[in-house]
């Protein structure tokens, strides 16, 4: 699994700045996806980990705090632009993004949260730690640019349980 983790890291990080999806299914069965452009991968506690930054105000945060896992779904470069826009600007509290975007939920291999069928690269992550940002420790220039409304992030650390590229499985 670590070999695949390294194999796909560059592709995922390259697309991250343009937007990727985080998808979650909570213990109540509610499912949502959201566009993220902040996150990173690394090795922590000897485990491959994806860390997602989610604002407290997001519906995705509500689901993640009631979930065991999440998936990271990476579109092919230049594709799914409208779906990324919808998932990043509309709330799952108000709409079903899978219908509005439209994108398709598909069963993941190892976790309860689904993947997005239209995304060839997928990371399946088990939540192993959460961490709040400490606003007092954020530099003033970053606060001014990103946190004018004091809506900071919580970081969800997901141990990468599986990573795969759908086109490689054909």
Domains of the chain, first to last: 2-169 (2.30.110.10)
* CB contact at 8 A, 130 and 139: no
Would you tell me how many other CB atoms lie within 10 Å of the CB of residue 20?
26
How far is the C-alpha of 135 from the C-alpha of 128, rounded, in Å? 23
Q: What per-residue confidence (pLDDT) applies to 46?
A: 94
How far is the C-alpha of 148 from the C-alpha of 109, rounded, in Å? 40
Name the CA radius of gyration of the chain, rounded: 15
pLDDT exceeding 70 applies to what percent of the chain?
Answer: 97
- Please, what is the average pLDDT of the chain? 94
Q: What's the whole-number mean pLDDT along residues 50-75?
A: 97
Q: What per-residue confidence (pLDDT) applies to 170?
A: 52
Q: What per-residue confidence (pLDDT) applies to 6?
A: 78
Inter-CA distances, 107 with 45, 74, 110, 113, 161, Å: 28, 16, 9, 8, 15
The three-state secondary structure class of 43 is: strand
Q: Which residue has the tokens 């004018």?
A: 148
């Amino acid at each position: 699994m670590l070999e695949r983790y390294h194999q796909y890291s560059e592709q995922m990080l390259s697309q991250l700045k343009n937007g990727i999806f985080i998808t979650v299914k909570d213990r109540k069965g509610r499912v949502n996806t959201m566009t993220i452009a902040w996150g990173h991968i690394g090795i922590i506690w000897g485990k491959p980990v994806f860390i997602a930054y989610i604002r407290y105000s997001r519906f995705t945060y509500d689901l993640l705090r009631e979930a065991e896992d999440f998936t990271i779904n990476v579109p092919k470069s230049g594709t799914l632009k409208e779906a990324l826009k919808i998932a990043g600007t509309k709330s799952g509290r108000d709409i079903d993004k899978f219908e509005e975007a439209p994108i398709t939920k598909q069963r993941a291999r190892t976790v309860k949260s689904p993947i997005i069928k239209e995304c060839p690269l997928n990371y399946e992550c088990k939540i192993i730690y959460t961490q709040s940002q400490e606003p007092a420790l954020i530099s003033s220039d970053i606060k001014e640019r990103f946190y004018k409304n004091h809506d900071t992030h919580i970081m969800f650390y997901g141990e990468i349980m599986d990573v795969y590229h759908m086109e490689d499985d054909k």
